[in-house]
């Protein structure tokens, strides 16, 4: 199970673990109903994440519109695609939830949001194991995760922390597959928050990709694609018999940078392929100095 950063989501995950452990004991109706309370809490938490994602995407769209660089447009499109991928997965799980609800004999008399047959373990085993719905969910999670990561060019940091994932089976389990470990002989009541957690993980993953894209949008890319030798002497002149001393190194500059301005003594110089040339006619005796200023404009805020 991935460890969420949000305190609310962490609490919900811990509650699910406790309730699942209680299944091995004498399970009361109150415990069964608690699974649905937990599922409701996940929906509320998911709505909060949705609102945050919508606000973040709106902010990125505004930035891309105000500063329409190719990079900003691409990152905004990736954020929008992440939201689409997450929404598609949530809708897919909604369909499975609806199917399970009907198999569990539909709405109960006391609460239409809870199915009648909440204790039944055979219907879940048949649906998720025998009919391989659990295997289909596993494949869908892997597919969705790969789509998310492709947007980041498989960034290893994002991959390590992306909530939507298929965790390895515990070494002491008798279950042979992920689907069996998750669904075999699980009562109907326990499956709803499990499915809800998958949806919550997808929304949190959407948020992770969006935040990655927003972070990239704030960076300035300067590609150094040209090199030339440079000499930095301690003195611009030497007297006969005096040693000449200088640092010699390889300098790098960008021939494609169009956001660089260079000036000498307040006067701007033309910049061509990242270089500016300065020359002045000598006049008078004595030491001369000039002030050089190089500015790089931020493409986001000018």
Among 190, 217, 244, give the residue marking a domain's end.
Answer: 217
- The highest-confidence range among 66-80, 212-226, 232-246, by mean pLDDT, is 66-80
Indicate whether 301 belongs to any domain. Answer: no
Among 166, 189, 217, give the residue marking a domain's end.
Answer: 217
Cβ contacts of 58 within 8 Å, gap of 6 or more: none
Choose the weakest-confidence range: 23-27, 46-50, 141-145, 253-257. 23-27
Nearest Cα to Cα of residue 6 among 53, 48, 59? 48
- Helices 70-103, 188-217: inter-axial angle, 10-degree rounding: 180
Give yes or no: residues 120 and 73 share one domain.
yes
Give the structural domain span for 254: 226-296
What average pLDDT does the chain have?
81
Residue 3 scores a pLDDT above 50: no
Element (H, E) at 235: none
Give yes or no: residues 65 and 11 share one domain.
yes
Q: How confident is the model at residue 223 (pLDDT cuts 50, 70, 90)?
A: low
Residue 76 scores a pLDDT above 90: yes
Indicate whether 113 belongs to any domain. Answer: yes
Residue 78 scores a pLDDT above 50: yes
Q: How many CB atoms lie within 10 A of CB 139?
A: 12
- How many Å apart are CA 163 and CA 103, to the nearest integer? 29
Give yes or no: residues 257 and 193 share one domain.
no
Among 217, 246, 281, give the residue marking a domain's end.
Answer: 217
Indicate whether 169 belongs to any domain. Answer: yes
Number of domains in the chain: 2
User: DSSP string of 95-122?
Assistant: HHHHHHHHHTTSB-SS-TTSBS-TT-SH
- Helices 133-151, 70-103: inter-axial angle, 10-degree rounding: 170
Residue 236 scores a pLDDT above 90: no
Q: How confident is the model at residue 170 (pLDDT cuts 50, 70, 90)?
A: confident
Cβ contacts of 156 within 8 Å, gap of 6 or more: none
Residue 150 scores a pLDDT above 50: yes
> pTM of this prediction?
0.69
């Amino acid at each position: 199970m991935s460890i969420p950063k949000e305190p609310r989501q962490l609490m919900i995950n811990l509650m699910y673990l406790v309730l699942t452990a209680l299944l091995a004991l004498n399970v009361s109706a109150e415990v069964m109903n608690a699974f649905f309370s937990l599922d409701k809490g996940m929906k509320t938490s998911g709505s909060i994440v949705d609102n945050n994602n919508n606000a973040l995407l709106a902010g990125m769209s505004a930035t891309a519109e105000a500063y329409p660089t190719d990079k900003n447009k691409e990152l905004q499109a990736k954020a929008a695609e992440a939201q689409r991928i997450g929404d598609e997965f949530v809708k897919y799980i909604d369909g499975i939830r609806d199917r399970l609800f009907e198999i569990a004999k539909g709405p109960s008399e006391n609460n239409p949001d809870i199915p009648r047959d909440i204790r039944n373990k055979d219907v879940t085993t048949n649906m998720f194991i025998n009919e391989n719905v659990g295997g289909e969910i596993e494949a869908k999670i892997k597919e969705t995760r790969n789509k998310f990561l492709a947007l980041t060019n498989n960034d290893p940091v994002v991959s390590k922390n992306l909530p939507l994932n298929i965790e390895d089976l515990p070494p002491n389990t008798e279950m042979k597959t992920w689907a069996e470990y998750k669904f075999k002989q699980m009562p109907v009541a326990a499956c709803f928050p499990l499915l809800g957690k998958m949806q919550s993980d997808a929304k949190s993953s959407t948020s992770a990709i969006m935040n990655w894209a927003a972070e990239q949008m704030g960076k300035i890319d300067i590609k150094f694609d040209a090199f030339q030798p440079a000499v930095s002497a301690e003195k611009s002149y030497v007297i006969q018999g005096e040693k000449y001393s200088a640092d010699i190194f390889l300098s790098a500059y960008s021939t494609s940078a169009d956001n660089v301005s260079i000036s000498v003594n307040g006067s701007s110089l033309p910049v061509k392929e990242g270089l500016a040339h300065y020359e002045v006619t000598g006049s008078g005796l004595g030491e001369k100095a000039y002030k050089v200023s190089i500015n790089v404009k931020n493409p986001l805020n000018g």
